[in-house]
Amino acid sequence: MSAVPLATGAAAASTPARVALLGTGTVGSAVLAKLAEWAGTPRGRRLSLVYAANSRAAMHAEAGLCARAAQSLALMPAGQLLRGIGGSTCASDLDDIERHLGFADTRILIDATASDRVAARHPEWLAQGIHVVTACKLGQGTSLARWRAIRTGAARGGACYGDSATVGAGLPLLRSIRDLQAGGDRIHAIAGVLSGSLAWLFNHYDGLRPFSGFVREARDAGYTEPDPREDLSGEDVRRKLLILARSAGVELDSGAVEVESLVPTALAGLPLGHVDAALSRLDASLRERFAAARKGGAKLRFIARLEGSGARVGLESLPDAHPLAGGAGTDNRIAIWSDRYREQPLVIQGPGAGAEVTAAALLDDVLRIVGRRPDL
Ligand SMILES: NC(=O)c1ccc[n+]([C@@H]2O[C@H](COP(=O)([O-])OP(=O)(O)OC[C@H]3O[C@@H](n4cnc5c(N)ncnc54)[C@H](OP(=O)(O)O)[C@@H]3O)[C@@H](O)[C@H]2O)c1
């Protein structure tokens, strides 16, 4: 979503856009690595990273930070001061982002956190004229009130909200939905595999070996969150569906999505340390569902579905020929039905997670914002 449309275009650099980065984890570190790679290039000269922070430490330099030096934030213990690298440190300071960004025509905050506290500030920063580019779904994928506040803030401040990285890690999903609507098309339905970890699990589960073994394998490969219940509960997919639905003009309340969690109650209540030993509680019901699907010549897929004003997230048995039954690995696969794509949906497929594609999606949005200014 962007109250002020993101546009393309570019020219020679003059005053660079000032950029603040929150989060130096998997995605934030990949953003810093890309900025370091761009140093001294025409693309890099259009951006000046002036502030970078995680939940433990922060660096600020009026004249611009060295992105390579900022990468060391990821390793820094809480409260440690960095000296001699052209920056100063203090705690991550959400109250003072505007001051840290200083004066510039174009000021951009990149949110590479999963922090609700940070997401709650998006509307305020937008209203201050600070463009917000985010990988975090907690801005647009939670309450309708926050989603509306983001739109209001963006309109008030004349700022853009770059959200390409929030669903499908930069696959052209939100962009396609908006482009179709801008061209007068009406979206009838959206359905898709929106979780890389759940895609992997159901692309690999064979009904022979226990499902819990596949969950462990996916967790060990880094496809799931450290606590796989976060993926299996469907919550992450619910947030993504809310973002897609709202961008398609269906202003769903956060409670309006019916979610089928794969996590049995007995597993849901356990402390994290006991989860691994109890994962086998997933096995029996999934084995039965797999067998029933196979008997009908179908495949199990974890699907997010928006039809009319109804929205649902859960496991479905899909015929082999269904547009969403294919795909491989951790691919996301999304089908969009509209006036134009009435019989055969528009299908978008590709890697929907991963640090590099997500960081690239964030920086694409940053460069689109910068491209709105002909002198940058
Ligand atoms: N990983 C992916 O493939 C992927 C794909 C698409 C979207 N996303 C989204 O991208 C976001 C980041 O994901 P990730 O995998 O990089 O997570 P991560 O590795 O857990 O990193 C999160 C970062 O946010 C920092 N943080 C937390 N609260 C903060 C605050 N108040 N101020 C500043 N920094 C704060 C953390 O600080 P500490 O280092 O001090 O803990 C950490 O550096 C999430 O919203 C995620 O859903 C991720």
Dump pLDDT digits (tens) for 54-71.
998 899 999 999 999 999
Q: How confident is the model at residue 326 (pLDDT cuts 50, 70, 90)?
A: confident
Q: How many CB atoms lie within 10 A of CB 320?
A: 9
Answer whether 139 contacts ligand 1 (Cβ < 6 A).
Answer: no
pLDDT at 106 over 60: yes
- The model's confidence at residue 79, banded by pLDDT at 50, 70 and 90, is low
Distance 227 CA to ligand 1 centre (A): 15
Do residues 345 and 337 make contact, with C-beta atoms less than 8 angstroms apart?
A: yes
CB 184 within 8 A of CB 298: no
Asked whether 28 lines ligand 1 (CB < 6 A), one says yes
Residue 295 designated active-site: no
Looking at residue 103, its pLDDT comes to 85
Give the ligand 1 atom nearest the CA of 58: 33
Tokens at residue 307, please? 């039809």
Q: Tell me the one-letter amino acid at 253.
A: D
> Is a pLDDT exceeding 50 seen at residue 32?
yes
Mean residue pLDDT across the chain: 90
* Exposed / middle / buried, residue 183 (Cβ in 10 Å: 0-12, 13-18, 19+): exposed
Q: What is the mean pLDDT of residues 116-132?
A: 97
Model pLDDT for residues 228-263, shown as the tens digit of each residue: 999 999 999 999 999 999 999 999 999 999 999 999
What pLDDT is attached to residue 170?
A: 87
- Cα angle 42, 44, 49 (rounded to 5 degrees) comes to 150
How far is the first Cα of the chain from the last one, in angstroms, to the nearest whole number? 23
Find the 215 Cα to ligand 1 centroid distance in Å.
22
Which letter does DSSP use for residue 76 in this model? P
Give the mean pLDDT of 159-169.
Answer: 95
CA 140 to chain centre: 10
Other Cβ atoms closer than 10 A to 344? 9
| CA 257/CA 271 separation, integer angstroms | 27
User: Which of 56, 109, 113 to mutate for ligand 1's pocket (most ligand atoms within 8 Å of CB)?
Assistant: 113
Q: Is the pLDDT of residue 202 over 90?
A: yes
- Alpha carbons 365 and 160: distance in angstroms, whole number: 9
Instruction: Among 21, 34, 55, 122, name the best residue to mutate to test ligand 1's pocket (greatest count of ligand atoms within 8 A of Cβ).
Output: 55
Query: Per residue in 346-363, pLDDT tens?
Result: 999 998 888 999 999 999
> What local confidence, expressed as pLDDT, does residue 148 receive?
97
Q: What is the model's pLDDT at position 8?
A: 37
8 Å CB contact between 305 and 293 = no
How far apart are the C-alpha atoms of 152 and 214, rounded to whole Å?
44
